[in-house]
Chain A
Amino acid sequence: MEGFGTKILFEIPILGGIPLTETVVNTWIIMAILTIFAVFATRRFDKIPRGIQNVVEAIVDVINKFTAQTMGEDKKGFSAYMGTLFLFLLLANLFGLFGLRPPTADLNTTFALAIMTFLIIHTNGVRRKGAKKYLKGFLEPFPAMLPLNIIGELALPISLAFRLFGNIIGGVIIVGLLYGGLASLSGMLGITFIPVLQAAIPVVFHLYFDLFAGVLQTFIFVMLSMVFISMAMD
């Protein structure tokens, strides 16, 4: 029963060997892509945009507008975090299209992101409302609800992380099973040197599980982060 976990690609030979999984390496690739894009796209900005500057301005504009629309005009400053989250998750979820393992198919990645959102929710809740009013919020509607409220708050990052992880890993497993099944089918038919069956049939599944579900889950994660943060601050 092996095959859908993250593989360890290589080890850093210090401190008794630090294992590096596919997730870490793919996250590095995404970081490199985003960093290089950011550096090169923002090199020379003109008053009149042309070329890649148009694209960058459009992206920033859309994210700013979307954040202001969802969270309210006064919380527009979150668009930096939301934009980063959006771009990272978008690239990460679409990684399955290139035959690589999406970093979000690892619970560590999704939990890290969910905990970031969780911390932002609570620090901003305290900052905006003041500690007293914030703590009082846990006793509402009546003090006996305290344990339930705490569990409810703790369930938030768990559900956020598992939602993304479950959707992506589900896609990874189904597409992986499909490739395995098609490989053994073409083996039965005696087509071994050219993977004819694997070439065309999985396209539909990639379209749904990687493209559609990936973009949708990115949107959902960012949207829910926005909604929860603005709910905690109002």
Chain B
Amino acid sequence: MEGITGRDLILAASAIGAGLAAIAGIGPGIGQGYAAGKGAEGVGRQPEAQGEIIRTMLLGQAVAETTGIYGLIIALILLFANPLA
């Protein structure tokens, strides 16, 4: 374990942190899947309202996606624009 500088340690920890930040993808995955399922249910019940349902579903999914995108941004910052290293 000779020759490991503080910077190396920070970079290694940042890489682990970036991986952990990607766990944030679980939330939007579940949320978007739930919204899509409900959307499919809605279309099944009212096929004539398909356009409206899809539009509302996509809007809700985009909002639900935000937290996942924040996780991605944190991972990207840790990898490419690390403020610590």
Contact = CB atoms under 8 A, between A and B. Distances in A.
B66 A162 contact: yes
Contacts of A1: 79-80
Given A1-B79, A4-B80, A224-B62, A167 B69 contact: yes
Contacts of A219: 58
Contacts of B80: 1, 4-5
B20 interface: no
Contact of B62 (A4, A170, A220): A220
A216 B72 contact: no
Tell me the interface secondary structure of chain B in the complex: helix
A216 B62 CA distance: 9
A77 to B, nearest CB: 22
Interface in A152-175: 159, 162-163, 165-167, 169-170, 173
B49 to A, nearest CB: 14
Nearest to B76: A169
A223 interface: yes
Contact of A227 (B59, B66, B79, B81): B59
Interface in B33-85: 55, 58-59, 62-63, 65-66, 69-70, 72-73, 76, 79-81
Interface in A193-222: 216-217, 219-220
A177 to B, nearest CB: 12
A216 B79 CA distance: 27
Given A219-B58, A220-B58, A220-B59, A163 B79 contact: no
Contacts of B76: 169, 173
A216 B58 contact: yes
Contacts of B58: 216, 219-220, 223
Contact of A223 (B59, B66, B69, B81): B59
Interface in A130-188: 159, 162-163, 165-167, 169-170, 173
B62 A163 contact: yes
Nearest to B63: A224
B39 to A, nearest CB: 14
Nearest to B11: A1
A220 B56 CA distance: 10
Given A163-B69, A224-B62, A227-B59, 16 more contacts: A4-B80, A162-B69, A163-B62, A163-B65, A163-B66, A165-B73, A166-B69, A166-B72, A166-B73, A170-B72, A216-B58, A217-B62, A220-B58, A223-B55, A223-B62, A224-B63
